[in-house]
Amino acid sequence: MSSSKTRALQQPPSETGDSRSSPKPNWLYFFVAVIIFTVAMALVSFPAGLYTVYGVHLSNSVNSSTPVSGLNFDFVFATVVIPVVGNLGGLFVVFSAIYLGFFLLAARQGAGLFRALRASVSHGYQALFTNPLTATMVLLGATSFVTVLVDTVQTDAGVSTGSLNGDPFSLLVNFTLAPLLEETTFRMIMIGVPVLVLAIIMFGGLSPVNMARAIWRPSSIWDIDEVDDVKTVHSFRETSPAMFQDDQSDSLEVRAIRPVVYAFLLLSSFIFGYAHYASGAGWGPGKVSEAALAGLALGYLYIKYGFQTSVLLHWSVNYVGSIFSFMAQGLFGVSWTSNTGSFLDVIPTLDIVFLLGLPSTLIVVNELLKRVTRGKR
């Protein structure tokens, strides 16, 4: 990416808009409103979770004071246990605090949450990809919608996806712990660490800061300018507002490492899908394809925007999508797995899967088609 191009793209669309730009479709106003509602619902899920863990009765055998001795990092071939001292309630609070920190970090990065939303209304949905949190919301909707479609098709074909069962309190805590633990395993270790090793071999002389940046956000390896043989690493804030960038670097090393990163993305996504089925937690063979597709979205966010976004997407699917169902079970006695449920079940599903999901899926499909079209030119 040339330095002149980078400077031209540093300002978000909302700040460099052309007064002659055509009006954007009315659906963007609706879509932005849905994103705002989803973000608000995610924020409300933090106190809702604390109330559910400490304020309602979910289980006769497990509660917030139940002691815990270790955290499990499950690989397909082995399980690594990290010793900890505490109880389930304490773990829930610590992990929730981490997710809240990631949430606030993603909201302020890049163009910023509200600037990206304003720019998307006036300049097009591409502006949503200038902020990690809005990009995560788009991938949340698309992943949820596509997962429901895949599950429906597979079920009709006789391929079972399976389901989780067990103590509801334990499941709630597991849904809370899994995003950070699994993203560390399947994204940071399976993508970030190999990319870091390759970057050290190919680029050499990486500073500790750039090494940390590479393992946190692998795309930092190729978000560079080269002027007079001096390489300057930039952030996604200074790249073009597109889901799939077509910027080309003059660096042979950068051109060589990018396809390797994507190969690790594909491999980790497949292993992520298979690990769910092989875990023995109750998932059927249909879960392999579902989780592998989700792994592609998680890996995309990790590579382009950073570890915090893949964790947030995973957390949104696992926790935000179910915490209100657990709370409904504690308040109204309606099982969190009930198909009818309560309004606390229906609203998150309607919002994430359909109101957010359908437009997001169309956006992702459109971006994929544009990418394919560019590739054929």
The model's pLDDT over 147-178, given as tens digits with 9 standing for 90+, comes to 999 999 999 999 999 988 899 999 999 999 99
Residues β-bridged to residue 87: 67
The model's pLDDT over 281-319, given as tens digits with 9 standing for 90+, comes to 899 999 999 999 999 999 999 999 999 999 999 999 999
Residue 358: per-residue pLDDT: 97
Residue 200 has pLDDT above 70, yes or no: yes
Residue 21: per-residue pLDDT: 47
Residue 279: per-residue pLDDT: 86
Residue 210: per-residue pLDDT: 87
Residue 242 has pLDDT above 50, yes or no: yes
Alpha-carbon distance of 114 to 17, in angstroms, equals: 16
What's the whole-number mean pLDDT along residues 319-338? 91
Residue 23: per-residue pLDDT: 53
The tokens for 137 are 């919301």
Residues β-bridged to residue 359: none
Nearest C-alpha neighbor of 109 from the set 141, 132, 134, 86: 132
Alpha-carbon distance of 172 to 228, in angstroms, equals: 54
Please report the DSSP string for 315-337 in residue order: HIIIIITTHHHHHHHHHH---TT
Alpha-carbon distance of 6 to 245, in angstroms, equals: 13
DSSP state of 223: -
Label residue 229 exposed, middle or buried (CB < 10 Å: 0-12, 13-18, 19+): exposed
Could you give the percent of the chain with pLDDT greater than 90? 67
Residue 19 has pLDDT above 50, yes or no: no
Question: How many CB atoms are closer than 10 A to CB 206?
Answer: 17
What residue type is assigned to position 290 of the chain? E
Residue 5: per-residue pLDDT: 33
Residue 342: per-residue pLDDT: 79
Handedness of CA 71, 173, 175, 301 (dihedral sign): negative
Domains of the chain by residue range: 3-9+25-375
Residue 12 has pLDDT above 60, yes or no: no
Between 266 and 235, the higher pLDDT residue = 266
Residue 158 three-state SS: coil
Residue whose structure tokens are 């249909």: 286
Alpha-carbon distance of 306 to 19, in angstroms, equals: 33
Q: Model's pTM, two decimal places?
A: 0.89
